[in-house]
Amino acid sequence: MALDSALIEAFSVSLATFFATIGPIDVAAMFAALTSSLSAKKRRNTALRAVVIAGAILFAFVLLGEFILNAMGISLAALRAAGGVLLLLIGIDLVTVKGSGATTTTTDEDLEAEERSDIAVFPLATPLIAGPGAIGAVILLMAHADGNFLEQTAVILSLSLVLAMTLISLLLASRLQNWLGVTGMHMISRVFGVLLCALAMQFLFDGIAQSGLLAGVAGG
């Protein structure tokens, strides 16, 4: 029973984190704006290529994240604390509906994207889908599972599910805009932003506690 509870928690936390950092609804809005002049077939091909490329980037960090941490000498406690800060900033951006570049494109990147005929790799695959926030979340959640195969599987399944949701959102981008409107899309972002802020604080607290800083202060 405890194992089932841990797996459900790992899956739900990962799902909420990836949904917030990848942002299928926000990506769909940008996709609709950038592909308004393309044919339906071209939009489908662009959406599929973007999600496949972004998935390859994110799953590469699933496999290489631990190696990167070990090679750079980064402890799990430091990763949890730094990842918590990063996710907290992203969560605040979502709640206030502002873009910092962690989950969205910058103004300069928007201008460059408008000049490109093929936007599948940039800006769709990265940084919109596989951006710094999503990559950081992948490394953090896989490290948080700490070698537990079932929990790592839950993280991978949640990532796959959010990528599938992103593809569906891109394919239905125009309809989503009509159904939800700007207010509806912002409301969804705000809800997941609040959840992400809470998860970020938990990661931050866990990292500080694991680092032994509090024990050192108490002992001093």
* 3-state per-residue secondary structure call for 58-82: HHHHHHHHHHHHHHHCCCHHHHHHH
pLDDT (tens digit per residue) in 8-37: 999 999 999 999 999 998 899 889 888 888
What is the extent of the structural domain holding 15? Answer: 2-219
pLDDT, position 101: 57
Number of domains forming the structure of the chain: 1
Q: Determine the Cα angle at 134 with ends 145 and 5, to 5°.
A: 30
Which two structure tokens, joined as six digits, stand for 145? 């599972």
Banded pLDDT at 216 (limits 50, 70, 90): low
pLDDT of residue 77 exceeding 80: yes
Q: Please tell me the pTM assigned to this model.
A: 0.85
10 Å Cβ neighbour count for 117?
6
pLDDT, position 155: 96
* Residue range 82-105: mean pLDDT, rounded: 79
What is d(CA 87, CA 145) in angstroms, rounded to the nearest whole number? Answer: 17
**Is 20:196 a contact under the CB 8 Å cutoff?**
yes
pLDDT (tens digit per residue) in 169-190: 999 998 887 888 878 888 888 8
**Is 135:159 a contact under the CB 8 Å cutoff?**
no
pLDDT (tens digit per residue) in 191-209: 888 999 999 999 999 989 8
- Report which of 178, 168, 207, 162 is spatially closest to residue 14, judged by C-alpha positions: 162
**Is 204:85 a contact under the CB 8 Å cutoff?**
yes
Task: Round the average pLDDT of the chain to a whole number and report it.
Answer: 86
